[in-house]
Structure 1
Amino acid sequence: MGNDEIPLHGGNVSTGVVRVGQTVRRPSGPWTPAVHSLLAHLHAVGFTGAPKPLGIDDKNREVLSFIPGTVAWPDHFDMLEPDKRLARVAQIIRDFHDAVTGFIPPSDARWQILIPANGSDIIAHHDLAPWNLVIGRPHWAFIDWDTAAPGTRLWDVAYALHGFVPLSADPRWNRADAGHRIRVFADAYGLGETQRHELIPLLAARSRSMATFIATQAAAQRQPWTQLWHDGHGEVWQADADYIDQHTPDWEHALLS
């Protein structure tokens, strides 16, 4: 493979991402030094569910270790169907949240904050979803850490549940066993009773925050959000938030019974 650049496709907002040998090159930004500091910390404390930061190349792109495997969404979601695999996702997220608690950001850290969380008890990933999960052997890992920023465990968990259950209004993804999968995830993560109560209203709020963000960015004609708005992503997130609201008693029963 040598130094050939192989474009990597997927995702809605990442462009200019290429593979070079066993590395991935991505456009860098003001947030890159802080993100690399975070990733270095995670590996230093033994968390393997993220790429390793390898610096900046001569084209001012960030360099990360390439993680071989299969991205779960949308064509391989069946890989996450068994309860034990959904539980593994929740355990990886819990391991990340525990590993990041000891992270002290650089004094000059700059983060790419797209949607502020309702608190800041950790540096959260903010996009823990099946489109950012690489299922490999032996490691599973989350990619696309460029929107890591101050947030909370539950803000990350609410977003993860939306994608990994999934909590979708789309008939193609709507599931009769959604409540069961929420419970499997919550149990595997180790959510306490108080956390479960606090999580319930965040499920719809986290999805609605995405709809609001895309609408606001599109109104300001900022890309790639304007294109996503025209492609219907805002409507999808709003429909999902409404669906979650309508079924909140089901999610409450699943989490608390």
Structure 2
Amino acid sequence: MTSHDELPLAGGNVSGGVVRVSDTVRRPAGPWTPAVHALLTHLHAAGFTAAPRPLGIDDRGHEVLTYAPGDVVWPDRFALLDPEERLARVGRTIRAFHDAVRDFTPPPDARWRTLVPADGTEIIAHHDLAPWNLVTDGDGPWAFIDWDTAAPGTRLGDLAYAAHGFVPLTDRPGLRRTDADAARRLRVLVDAYGLDEPERRRLVPLLARRAQAMHDFLRTRAARGEQPWARMWSEGHGDVWRADAEYTERRAADWERALLDG
């Protein structure tokens, strides 16, 4: 394989970059890679296909995954999620993942790349279910990518993080929706996922808490000079997460009404 065979892929906070080679993706591997590959193998065996299939390690020590055709939703194709049926599809896809992973038993020597402290160890969660990790091919196959931060977590924590990006829960110019629109879209996502009433009540405070955890994570890693987090902090990502957390917390009563009424 020569460098001419490689097509750099944009996005992803991976040192050394990610490339496409034919119908595969090559990414730098880490201590967590064997556990992640075991997880992805289990998901496909359980019938969940909205994720890459692991193909091993190449001769340069890079993990090899199947290539997911299509384009990443974020940022240029976010409007694809405006039809609420497609937002509902996000909720159903996340639920299918969580159902498939419930009976996954990690390898005894599993090592996970835990970045943000989890709120529990109910499942092996993705921890970055967001538009920047969703590849779509129109109404064809969808896939969540970038599973390298999969680690113990909870279904509600994973869903709360997803709600931040997919609703989205923000008042930033260019992304902001009316509060009523945001509340309605949150209801669409959660209805499609299928939470019962007690779970809906528990989800609401997690929405702001999960965004605040991302701010705190970036602040801590930037203070240590760790990349790419220090760069992201300097670019203002920490301020964005803090503002989104504050907005989401201010509107908590709206989210609860939207999820519980009707």
TM-score > 0.5, shorter chain as reference:
yes
2:131 corresponding residue in structure 1: 130
Superposed displacement of residue 256, structure 1: 1.0
Q: Is structure 2 residue 219 aligned with structure 1 residue 242? A: no
User: Would the alpha carbon gap of residues 130 and 15 (structure 1) be closer, same or farther in structure 2, given more than 3 Å must change?
Assistant: farther
Question: Normalising to structure 1: TM-score of the pair?
Answer: 0.97
- Residue 139 of structure 1 corresponds to 141
Match status 1:46 vs 2:50: no
Amino acid at match of 1:141: A
SS in 1 for 2:42: helix
What letter matches 2:163 in structure 1?
Answer: L
What is the rounded CA distance, in whole Å, between the counterparts of 1:127 and 1:253 in structure 2? Answer: 26
What is the letter of the counterpart of residue 31 of structure 2? P
Q: In the aligned structure 1, how far is the partner of 2:46 from the partner of 2:236?
A: 41
Partners of 2:49 and 2:109 lie apart in 1 by: 26
1:16 is displaced (CA, Å) by 1.4
Alpha-carbon distance between aligned partners in 2 of 1:15 and 1:59, rounded to the nearest angstrom: 12
Provide, for residues 71-94 of structure 1, a one-character-per-residue CA deviation record: whole Å limited to 9, x for no partner. Answer: 111100111101100000000000
- Cα distance in 2 for partners of 1:228, 1:167 equals 20
Looking at structure 2, the residues matched to 249 and 107 of structure 1 have their Cα atoms a distance apart, in angstroms, of 43
Corresponding position: 1:222 with 2:226: yes
Number of aligned pairs? 257
Following TM superposition, the consecutive aligned residue runs of length 4 or more in structure 1 with deviations greater than 3 angstroms are 11-15
* More off after superposition, 14-23 vs 219-228: 14-23
Judge which range, 164-173 or 59-68, deviates more.
164-173
CA shift at 1:12, angstroms?
4.2
**Counterpart in 2 of 1:56?**
57
Q: Aligned runs of 1:70-219 on 2, under 5 Å?
A: 70-136=71-137, 138-176=140-178, 177-219=181-223
Aligned AA for 1:112?
R
The 3-state SS of whatever aligns with 1:95 is helix
Report the secondary structure of 2:104's partner residue.
coil
- 1:194-252 per-residue CA deviation (whole Å, 9 max, x = no partner) reads 10000010000000000000000011111111100100000000000001011111111
- Once the two structures are superposed, the pairs formed by residues 16-27 of structure 1 within 5 Å of their partners are 16-27=17-28
* Partner SS, residue 203 of structure 2: helix
The alignment-based identity, stated in percent, is 63
Structure 1 residue 13 displacement after superposition: 4.7
Match of 1:37 in 2: 38
Give the match's secondary structure for 2:47.
coil
Structure 2: where are the runs of 5+ without partners? none
Unaligned residue ranges in structure 1 (runs of 5+): none
After the TM superposition, which of the residue ranges 100-109 and 166-175 deviates more from structure 2?
166-175
